[in-house]
């Protein structure tokens, strides 16, 4: 019988889409797959994080979540991206984006790095900041009027607003932005500098934590409110007090209830509860920040040039744009294909065109191509809002607007 724990977690999270599952096919799988023999950590805003192991031949994906049995999904046919399903659970994606589905309920996730990939720690005069590859952070900071260093945690992301900035949102709902200078220095909005340390600091002090707790098959599970990360609660300390309070208040064995505790993180996936503070049966975590489409590894489809909406009788004529992680871009102008490089930094975005095919096209398509290439060459800044990408010139005029291709 299928394990229902993953499904229950998905239903408890906001459903981002309603989709049906795909029945397995007996035909040999075709289409791109993730790199074989790879472990990938997926972060799912508003839902459970998990990791997936892809076998060396690419034919099997094994999903792993804290406190739950492994789920093995065979690879299936798909025209684009990758698809793994057993007819009940489904993992479908392309590049770094993926959708996890169980019983028709789906949640969108993004690849946040390999399990075991080291975090990066930056240190300054008053702060130590550690960025984990799953998109979460921990912070230790000296503040005026406070004797002991303040500990905080939350989510971080690279946002595109004019140029690229590293943005953190912590447990006090504050938003802090940094410019990343090279690979070894961060500068915040007040000019304070943090430098990359040679050794990661996991910042394992005592945190005051808020989250959802439930008792699982192999022990308690705690989902922290501001990172969305789920941790296994280790035996000892105040864990018996926490479990006792949950047992007395829970309406069912599958219910997750809001609690406040003081605890220390153990390695990457464990939590040691040192003090149980409170349980609120009707409490809830605030919504996690909505993560927009990623600038890189997203297929962007043109919807507007210089304020004029564009329409196409043939969808294959719609210009597209895709940026990779190596500073290269590929584009279809609606007639020919264009490739080149791009520069993204805290001050803006610039495209440098390279080779282009030279196909003869109908006059309307040629006119569209010329306008598109000219506008792309004038781009100096970018801004992403949800699934919309705006590219503007040095005067701030929006030249191109794209929408992320739905998956």
- To the question of pTM greater than 0.75 for the whole model, the response is no
Angle ∠(402,331,167) on CA atoms, nearest 5: 50
C-alpha 232/C-alpha 66 separation (Å) is 6
pLDDT in tens, 246-276: 999 988 888 899 999 999 998 777 899 999 9
pLDDT at position 383 over 70: yes
Residue entry with tokens 């004797």: 147
> Residue 11 in 3-state DSSP?
helix
Q: How many other CB atoms sit within 10 Å of the CB of residue 273? A: 27
CB 237 within 8 Å of CB 271:
no
From CA 382, how far away is CA 164, in angstroms rounded?
9
Residue 202 contacts residue 265 (beta carbons within 8 Å) = yes
User: Could you read off the pLDDT of 198-257 as tens digits, one per residue?
Assistant: 999 989 899 999 999 988 766 788 989 998 888 889 999 999 999 999 999 988 888 899
The answer to whether 366 and 335 are in contact (CB under 8 A) is yes
pLDDT in tens, 385-397: 778 889 999 998 9
Q: Average pLDDT of 119-146? A: 89
Selected residue with higher pLDDT from 65 and 393: 393
Q: Which of 37, 45, 87, 42 lies closest to 63, judged by CA?
A: 42
Beta strand pairing call for 270-280 and 230-233 = parallel
pLDDT of residue 7: 42
Q: Which residue's structure tokens are 């895709």? A: 322
Confidence of residue 23 (pLDDT cuts 50, 70, 90): very low
Return the residue matching tokens 């719609």: 318
Which residue do the tokens 């409490």 mark? 283
Rounded to 5 degrees, φ, ψ at 403 are -120, 140
The helix (run of H) or strand (run of E) holding residue 298 is: none
Identify which of 23-27, 226-230, 262-266, 335-339 has the greatest average pLDDT. 262-266
Per residue in 56-78, is it b (16+ CB within 10 Å) or e — as a string? eebeebebebbbbeebebebbeb
Task: Encode pLDDT of 273-314 as tens digits.
Answer: 999 999 999 999 988 776 666 787 788 999 999 999 987 766
> How far apart, in whole angstroms, are the C-alpha atoms of residue 323 and residue 182?
19
CA distance 187 to 175: 15
pLDDT of residue 183: 66
Burial category of 251 from C-beta neighbours within 10 Å (exposed 0-12, middle 13-18, buried 19 and up): exposed
E-only strand ranges, 310-393: 320-323, 328-332, 337-345, 348-356, 381-385, 388-392
Give the tokens for residue 366.
């040629």
Contacts of 336 (CB under 8 A, 6+ apart): 356, 357, 358, 359, 361, 369
Q: What is the DSSP letter of 288?
A: P
Q: pLDDT over 70 for what percent of the chain?
A: 82
Report the DSSP pairing between strands 219-224 and 207-216. antiparallel
Query: Please, what are the domains in the chain?
Result: 5-113 (2.40.128.200), 120-196 (2.40.128), 207-280 (2.40.50.140), 300-404 (2.40.128.270)
Tokens of 396: 């701030």
Map 371-407 to HEC letters: HHHHHHHCCCEEEEECCEEEEECCCCCEEEEEEECCC
For the chain, percent of residues with pLDDT exceeding 90: 29
Distance CA 226, CA 236 (A): 25
């Amino acid at each position: 019988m299928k394990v229902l724990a993953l499904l229950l977690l998905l239903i408890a999270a906001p459903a981002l889409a309603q989709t049906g599952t795909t029945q397995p096919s007996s035909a040999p799988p075709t289409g791109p797959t993730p790199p074989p023999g790879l472990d990938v950590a997926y972060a799912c805003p508003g839902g459970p994080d998990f990791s997936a192991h892809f076998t060396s031949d690419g034919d099997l994906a094994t999903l792993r979540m804290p406190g739950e049995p492994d789920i093995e999904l065979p690879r299936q046919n798909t025209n684009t991206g990758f698809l793994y399903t057993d007819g009940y659970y489904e993992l479908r994606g392309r590049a770094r984006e993926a959708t996890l589905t169980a019983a028709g309920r789906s949640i969108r996730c993004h690849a946040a790095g390999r399990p075991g990939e080291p975090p990066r720690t930056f240190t300054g005069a008053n702060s130590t900041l550690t960025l984990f590859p799953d998109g979460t952070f921990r912070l230790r900071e000296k503040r005026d009027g406070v004797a002991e260093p303040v500990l905080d945690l939350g989510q971080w992301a690279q946002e595109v607003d004019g140029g690229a900035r590293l943005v953190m949102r912590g447990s006090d709902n504050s938003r802090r932005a940094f410019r990343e200078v090279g690979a070894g220095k961060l500068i915040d909005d007040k000019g304070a500098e943090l430098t990359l340390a040679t050794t990661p600091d996991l910042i394992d002090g005592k945190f005051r934590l808020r989250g959802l707790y439930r008792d699982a098959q192999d022990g308690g599970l705690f989902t922290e409110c501001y990172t969305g990360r789920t941790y296994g609660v280790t035996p000892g300390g105040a864990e018996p007090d926490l479990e006792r309070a949950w047992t007395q208040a829970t309406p069912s064995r599958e219910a997750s209830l809001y609690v406040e505790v003081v605890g220390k993180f153990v390695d990457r996936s464990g939590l040691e509860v040192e003090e149980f503070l409170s349980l609120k049966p009707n409490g809830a975590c605030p919504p996690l920040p909505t993560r927009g489409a990623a600038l890189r590894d997203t297929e962007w489809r043109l919807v507007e040039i210089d304020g004029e909406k564009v329409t196409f009788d043939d969808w294959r004529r719609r210009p597209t744009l895709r940026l990779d992680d190596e500073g290269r871009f590929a584009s279809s102008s609606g007639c020919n294909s264009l490739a080149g490089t791009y520069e993204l930094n805290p001050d803006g975005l610039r495209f440098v065109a390279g080779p282009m095919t030279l196909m003869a096209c109908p006059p309307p398509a040629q006119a569209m191509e010329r306008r598109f290439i000219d506008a792309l060459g004038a781009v100096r800044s970018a801004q992403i809002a949800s699934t919309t990408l705006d590219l503007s010139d040095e005067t701030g005029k929006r030249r191109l607007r794209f929408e992320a291709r739905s998956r």
